[in-house]
A and B are shown apart, each in its own frame.
Chain A
Amino acid sequence: MRLIAKARASDDPIDEPLRALDWWYPEDELGEPKMEAVLAEINGWKTELQSNAEGILFRKDREGRHHHGPQVADYNELKADGSTACGAWIYSGVFNRDGVNKANTRQSKDYLGHGWGFSWPSDRRIIYNRASAKPNGEPWSERKKLVWWESEKWTGIDVPDFKPTKHPDYRPEGNESGLDGHRGDAPFILHEDGLGWMYVPKDLQDGPFPTHFEPLESPVRNSLYSRDTNPVVNWFTRAENRFAPPGDPHFPYVLTTYRLTEHHTAGGMTRFLSHLSELQPEMFVEMSPELATELKINNSDYVCLVSLRGAIEARALVSRRIRPMKLNGKTVHQVAIPFHFGAAGPLRGNAANNLVAISGEPNVTIMETKALTCNIIPGRLPRGAAFLDWIERYAPQSGQPANLHPEQPPLGAPSGGKFSRIRGNERSAG
């Protein structure tokens, strides 16, 4: 308030936002703004002053004047002409005319949890709930029904996430805007045509039908096709991002990464919390007793994991939960590492990201961190200059091309997938 008073006293244009600030919130007994007044503003109201109308939750502002009209029921009542105001449209409906702060309710009325908190927007619990009903509006399943067409409107357990009066047979003419452009049997409201896009003639680089290619790094060849890897994958070929060819004897073991319950992603949020960190305090690698015996590794020993991208050290956790696989008659061992550890914080452990490669799944460009190959060297990891000799011995790559995998495009070539197609188009256009 002091800042606003100062801004009012000045005529500097830089103070204009403060001069225009509408700090209307009624105050509680401690002189703090009432939090529910903020929530009422987030929900939104009609701006026309109607001092006697129903549905006004806070009739007076902090100076005792009327401030706004009734609350809006939900975002469908919001208008772009200034007659309504709203703090966040997706929360519109959280604190509307009935005066119930729905974010603070804890009484479930049904199995979708209506009555327990507020689910934006409009307290819908399941997105695309139109898909629970057949094109003609009857539920597919009596047991799992969500919304259905009944006596000329949509009704049901959930709140329909489309206009509740849209007839199942509705067909757009082609000149409508917004959701009116969707057919009455099109549930996927966030897609421009309202359809599910299982199979579409554009945008998807791969799919939709399942098939099998080996991971970019694999100890075996593909049994299904003559080609080992997905032909439209992005390799991102770089000298720092090499891939081992299939069956490379330098990297005989399958490596996978996973998450622990106690930590979050790379551990940045959890490695510094003592009550979580003490439950999983150090980097480890899980391996089968068979592999541990073969490599003369005891449980809790330090071992080094090495891939073409780098090397880390970890404690060996020998468990029968990990079993050797038999692939094409050959025994292949698998090891597994969590990836929550790193250099900072009270915990010890190397980062799993030092081992993984950068690649891109064709549709969404997610990299392949769950299937790699590696080698295991018992003992601690050398530091400093000794590390460079060590890694050249176990992952030799000096003087070699960036594309070691036979199906990988060379450095600078189109790397496959979405990106190569764009580059290809540019090239043909030019």
Chain B
Amino acid sequence: MIGEGIESTNQRRHSYVGDRIEVGFFTDPTVCIGCKACEVACKEWNQVPDDGFTWSGNSYDHTGHLGASTWRHVLFLEQDRRKGDQITGSMGGLSPQSATVSPTQTNPQSDDPFRWVFVSDVCKHCEEAGCLEACPTGSIVRTEVGSVLVQNDVCNGCGYCVVSCPFGVIDRRPAPLADAGGAFKCTFCYDRQKSGLVPACAKVCPTESIVFGRLDDLRARGADRVQHLQQSGYDDAQLYDPQETSVRGLHAFFLILGEPEAYGLPPKPQIPTIYLKSAWTSAIATAVATLIVVFAAFFFFG
């Protein structure tokens, strides 16, 4: 049988759905080559329509952002910063002498750091998901493996989930695309997982920048990777997995270089339902105050 006896969790058959094991994606931009195979594989498997042939002028990123018809998005980030212990410097400043400089030294006159970072963005499948809490129809559910799934035959297209996602992932699909009106996002390839297959994006990732596996294994792997990178000169490597805020951690978490804002990731994502208590309190207080004013009006002018 295809995939048996293979060590990589990206290629191996599994039974996570039957065993009710929490799974995740760990995405590591330090090995991403920006090939966008994940985007193509996702659209092919899930039959997501193409959504525009617009040239963006923003590096090689013509996808732009996640949406109803984009469930994987490779972000291309050009920054005037050093990547790890890379040797930087403009070509013009590179003299025959400086070409022999050892990797730890750089020529201060030509020091001109620049880096091109690729990272494949996806639905985070939050531990506490804003979309799921906002959904009034029960269309959005939590699966056995901990992922958040939109059941498109139940969705009525109300759009409450769209404003409730702290990451701007889920969206309603505009006409004239197929199934227009409903809300769509990454399904974590739940259909594939039920059959023991790995999500399409992780399956095709040629460098295993996207790793699929048990969430506890991936979190340990992510921590190891950050430590290894920091020892290798990537001072700004960190994990993006906000467990202290109301989303309480991500099933799809990321290693990032530098600040989360540069990747379009909120540093402190919150789900809107944490404001429910104060919202209801102020609503009731307003209602009570209005009643008092009305009764007072009758009393004084009646």
Contact = CB atoms under 8 A, between A and B. Distances in A.
A106 interface: yes
A319 B78 contact: yes
A400 interface: no
B116 A326 contact: no
Interface residues of A, number: 30
Nearest to A347: B53
Interface stretch (B1-9, B254-262, B289-297): B1-9
Interface in B39-70: 39-40, 43-44, 49-55, 57, 59-60, 62-63
B55 A281 contact: yes
B92 A279 contact: no
Contact of A280 (B1, B50, B57, B62): B62
Contacts of B59: 317, 319
A323 interface: yes
A223 to B, nearest CB: 12
Contacts of B57: 299-300, 315, 317
B242 interface: no
Given A315-B55, A319-B59, A279 B78 contact: no
B175 interface: no
Kindly name the residue among B4, B34, B53, B93 whose own CB sees the greatest number of chain A CB atoms within 10 A: B53
Nearest to A325: B91
Contact of A275 (B40, B62, B114): B40
Contacts of A326: 91-93
Interface string A305-319: 000000000010101
A284 B50 CA distance: 21
B296 to A, nearest CB: 62
B5 A107 contact: yes
A279 B55 contact: no
Contacts of A323: 90-92
Contacts of B53: 274, 277-278, 281-282, 346-347
A299 B62 CA distance: 14
Nearest to A282: B55
B279 interface: no
A261 interface: yes
Interface in B1-47: 1-6, 34-36, 39-40, 43-44
Given A320-B78, A324-B91, A279 B34 contact: no
Interface residues of B, number: 33
Contacts of B55: 281-282, 284, 300, 315
B169 to A, nearest CB: 19
B143 to A, nearest CB: 26
Nearest to B48: A275
A44 B1 CA distance: 26
B153 interface: no
A260 B59 CA distance: 12
Interface in A262-281: 262, 274-281
A324 B90 CA distance: 8
Contacts of A315: 55, 57
Nearest to B80: A320
A346 B44 CA distance: 19
B25 to A, nearest CB: 20
Contacts of A347: 53
Interface in A332-386: 346-347
Given A261-B34, A317-B57, A325-B92, A279 B40 contact: yes
A326 B116 CA distance: 23
A262 B114 contact: no
A321 interface: yes
A260 B44 CA distance: 20
A221 to B, nearest CB: 19
A106 B2 contact: yes
Given A324-B92, A346-B53, A279 B36 contact: yes
A330 to B, nearest CB: 10
Nearest to A334: B91
Contacts of A300: 55, 57
A416 B93 CA distance: 38
Contacts of A108: 6
Kindly name the residue among A279, A281, A326, A347 whose own CB sees the greatest number of chain B CB atoms within 10 A: A279
Nearest to A105: B2
A387 B245 CA distance: 61
Contacts of A107: 4-5
Given A275-B44, A347-B53, A106 B4 contact: yes
B40 A321 contact: no
Contacts of B43: 275
Nearest to B93: A326
Nearest to A104: B2
A331 interface: yes
B280 to A, nearest CB: 44
B114 A279 contact: no
22 contacts: A106-B1, A106-B4, A106-B6, A260-B60, A277-B53, A278-B62, A279-B36, A279-B39, A280-B60, A282-B55, A284-B55, A299-B57, A315-B55, A315-B57, A320-B78, A321-B78, A321-B116, A323-B92, A324-B90, A326-B93, A331-B92, A346-B53
* A-B pairs with lowest CB-CB distance, top 7: A300-B57, A274-B50, A326-B92, A282-B55, A281-B53, A261-B35, A323-B91
Given A277-B50, A282-B53, 4 more contacts: A278-B63, A319-B78, A323-B91, A347-B53
Interface of A: 106-108, 260-262, 274-282, 284, 299-300, 315, 317, 319-321, 323-326, 331, 346-347
